[in-house]
């Protein structure tokens, strides 16, 4: 992503806050924060707008600690509604490809 900013709902992790993401190619993504859970280290959000073959997507990121190493483990679970004319498998593949660079970037900045 080239840029990320909260455009509605405050500066912190507030349910309903909307984040605008701009891809390196200029594509626009909007995500709505559904449920931040600091105690359990989880974050659930919905894609509101994206140039992807999905009508709806709700994702949860969970970062449980790895106690023996002091590190953490990232899990991502998404429920996807494919766009008309697209299969669930194709929508999943497109979403995974779109998110992979962001997850790789997380590893880079936290390593």
pLDDT in tens, 61-102: 999 988 888 888 889 898 988 888 999 888 888 888 888 877
pLDDT digits (tens, 9 = 90+) for 10-30: 777 789 999 999 988 899 999
pLDDT, position 110: 57
Q: Other CB atoms closer than 10 Å to residue 55's CB: what's the count?
A: 13
Nearest to 46 by CA among 36, 34, 35: 34
Name the CATH topology of 3-110. Answer: Alpha-D-Glucose-1,6-Bisphosphate; Chain A, domain 4 (3.30.530)
Domain coordinates in residue numbering, the chain: 3-110
The band of 107, judged by pLDDT with boundaries at 50, 70 and 90, is low
pLDDT of 106 over the 90 cut: no
Q: Is the pLDDT of residue 1 over 80?
A: no
């Amino acid at each position: 992503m080239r840029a990320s900013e909260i455009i509605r709902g405050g500066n912190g992790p507030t349910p309903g806050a909307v984040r605008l993401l701009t891809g390196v190619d200029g594509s626009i993504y909007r995500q709505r924060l559904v449920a931040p859970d600091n105690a359990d280290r989880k974050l659930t959000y919905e894609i509101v707008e994206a140039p992807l073959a999905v009508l709806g997507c709700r994702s949860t990121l969970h970062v449980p600690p790895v106690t023996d190493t002091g590190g953490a483990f990232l899990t991502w679970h998404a429920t996807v509604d494919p766009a008309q004319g697209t299969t669930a498998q194709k929508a999943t593949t497109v979403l995974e490809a779109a998110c992979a660079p962001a997850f790789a970037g997380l590893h880079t900045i936290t390593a």
